[in-house]
Amino acid sequence: MNVIHNAVAIMAPFLLAAIGGLFTELTGMLNIALEGLMLIGAFASVVFASATGSLFLGVALGIISSVLVAYLFAFVSLRLKANIFISGLATNLLASGLTVVLAFKLFGSKGVIHFPGAPVLPLVSVPALERIPILGDLFFGHNILVYLGWICLVLAAVVIYKTPFGLRIRATGHDSSTVESLGLNPQSYQLKAILVSGFTCGAAGSMLTLNLQAFVPNITAGRGWIALVVIYLGNKTPLGILIASFVFGFAISISNYAQGFMEIPADFILAFPYIITVVAMIGYSAVRHYRSQKLAMRRDR
């Protein structure tokens, strides 16, 4: 049952990034900057954690760095009215350039940088309960950031569906003139949504490097993009993205497991999430297409 246990650990960064992306998606923005924001969080958190010796400060400063870059992204997209897709690309490019340049300046290396002194992410371990089949794997023995992801998911569901703020977030994406008619500024909700995505992506990124106690250039390796697809496959609901990110985590966990006894080249393992994502996307769009066709036919009759 290690496969399930690992799946939960692997899905956690997707889940966190997708929660933030859900907010921007609901305000009607395609946020492709998730990847870059995660990378900033990944770099900053391990550097600060190792410099301060404090796990909390590392994660917090990692998240703050990611939120700051998210603010830059929001400023250019909303205030300077740049095409959000292009400014998202720019954010990803900035993140990959900036992290390497800073790593080279600070540590003199453009390769893998180890931080042996960085604090370890503590595991929430309950030995008695971990032995319960499946449930034990799902809920116990993970690092604390995995639980942060779940807390964020519940919070997100409450905020989106049960608060005026969430209602306005959804209204902004649905029909921004409704928000304007209330005397509110839809752009300010878009800004807040981008900042939320900076927060969750920063946390998602910090999980990657703090787990390894090392920074690897472009450590995010497409996870931000997968998070974006998770949002689509999850039908833009919190429960949906939970299920979709578990499916991804499970698929990757199985392919890691298969590598143990089959000789699969490492590049294929890395390509696997992209392939399964694109197949899932095409399948999803086909289902959507035929469903809407059926509805149209029913209406005609």
Residues that bind another protein (CB under 8 A): 30, 32, 72, 76, 79-83, 85-87, 89-91, 93-94, 96-98, 100-101, 104-105, 110, 222, 225, 228-229, 232, 265, 267-268, 270-271, 274-275, 277-278, 281-282, 285-286, 288-289
Q: What count of other Cβ atoms lies within 10 Å of the Cβ of residue 264? A: 14
- Pick the closer one to another protein by CB: 80 or 128: 80
Between 147 and 274, whose beta carbon lies closer to another protein?
Answer: 274
Q: CB 222 → another protein: shortest distance, Å?
A: 6
Residues 66 and 47 sit within 8 Å (Cβ to Cβ) = no
Q: Which is nearer to another protein, 46 or 280 (CB)?
A: 280
Min dist. Cβ of residue 301 to another protein (A)? 23
Residues 148, 71: Cα–Cα separation, whole Å: 22
Minimum distance from CB of 36 to another protein (Å)? 9
Q: Which is nearer to another protein, 60 or 233 (CB)?
A: 233
Kindly state the tokens that stand for 270.
Answer: 């890395």
| CA-based end-to-end distance of the chain | 51
State how far the Cα of 123 lies from the Cα of 18, in Å rounded to an integer: 23
Cβ closest to another protein, residue 100 vs residue 159: 100
Q: How far is the CB of 69 from another protein (least distance, A)?
A: 11
| Minimal distance, residue 39 CB to another protein, in Å | 12
